[in-house]
Structure 1
Amino acid sequence: MSDENASPDETPEIDISADVTPEIDPVDALRAENAELKDRVLRTIAEMENLRKRTERDVADTRSYAIAGFARDMLSATDALSRALMVLPAEARESGDATTKSLIEGIEMTEREMQRLLAKHGVTPIEADGQKFDPYKHQAMFEVPDPTRPEGTVVQVVQAGFAIGDRVLRPAMVGVAKGGPSHAPADEAIDKSV
């Protein structure tokens, strides 16, 4: 005891108000924790739903486009068959012996079957002839001076293009009109008076 004047019965006063923290209501604490946990659960559920949707989309894309490399290779083989048929002279088809005619028919049937199988698996030809040039679907090989056709119109298809679903496997190689009228549709008329 440091105070010599204090009587033994007196206890010194201690100010405890500085050391005491306000009491936290346990119910409020549990409610706050419950709200935080509920928010975490809702966020986790949303993340899982997004993951499920993304996985479904990836699986669907994989199913649709898994054969893209194989389809490109098959297009090369189909093109070779088409070129073989194009170089055959018409008289060979008509006046050839039975073996030659059978060979030609076999090549034609094989080409048709390959085209059918490609179509069965979602590989479709890209429309090009007479269409407005689209750099995402067409590859311009040359320009054709043609004042009768709108400029930018595909006038010749050198090699057919193909798509699988909405993806281009191979763009169509085309010749494009040059020198004709503008390809602007009537509803998009441009006011040149300004």
Structure 2
Amino acid sequence: MNENKTPNDETEAEIAEASAAADASVSADAGDEAAKALEQLSGENAELKDRMLRLAAEMDNLRKRTEREVADTRAYAIASFARDMLTATDSLSRALMVISPETRASADATLKSLIEGIDMTEREMQRLLAKHGVKPIEAEGQKFDPHRHQAMFEVPDATKPEGTVVQVVQTGFAIGERVLRPAMVGVSRGGGAGGSGEADTAGVDKSA
């Protein structure tokens, strides 16, 4: 019992209590606002991080795609020129093929030098083509592949599975995975065990 408490003391106490309650309410509101602001900032940060990761992935994909395109350009830039070179090497090869062994053996020094020059030129052109990725297509003994071989005729051969390349008329060439020209071939017909029927010889030029 505080008999000495005056009305003024009671008023001051009430004011202090009300002020404390107001301060507590303000602090609670400030805390809620701060929590909301923090939550909003956290969400924005997560969104920015996600966008940055997506952008980084897109840039990496773009880099890889550009590297592939540059590699393809380098690999296939000479494709058209290589085809022309093959025509020239074919001409040299045919010129050498028509020279019989007898002619070579009985040729005088001048003709021998000419033959050797043609032979060396043809070999050097083949070497340069190989240096730049132009390689002959395997054909003889292989299963006929319409993407890499051009069938010119059929050869009856019971010893080979049907659709096997048994003769190469003209060598084919490819650069990387791209066919510059298909190999012109003859394929077996009516083969033995392992033959796969008409599908193997689809596309055969039977009028050749």
Number of residue-to-residue matches in the alignment: 163
Q: Does 1:140 align with 2:151?
A: yes
| Higher alpha-carbon Rg | 2
Cα distance in 2 between the residues matched to 1:71 and 1:51: 30
Secondary structure of the 2:86 match is helix
Cα distance in 1 between the residues matched to 2:147 and 2:175? 14
- Measured after TM superposition, the shift of residue 91 of structure 1 is 2.5
- Structure 1 counterpart of 2:89: 78
Pair 1:153-2:164 in alignment = yes
| Contact preservation (8 Å) 2:160, 2:192 | yes
1:44 corresponding residue in structure 2: 55
Structure 1 residue runs of 5 or longer lacking an equivalent are 1-22, 186-194
CA contact (8 A) 2:163 2:188 kept: yes
Structure 2 gaps, min length 5: 1-32, 197-208
Equivalence map 1:1-194=2 (5 Å) = 25-183=36-194
Give, as a single letter, the amino acid of the residue that structure 1 aligns with 2:145: D
Give me the whole-angstrom Cα distance separating, in 1, the residues matched to 2:104 and 2:69: 49
Residue equivalent to 1:19 = none
How many angstroms does 1:166 deviate by? 2.0
| TM-score, reference length from structure 1 | 0.79
- After TM superposition, give the deviation of residue 137 of structure 1 in Å: 1.2
Please give the root-mean-square deviation of Cα atoms over the aligned residues, in Å. 1.7
SS at match of 2:155: strand
**Structure with the larger helix share:** 2
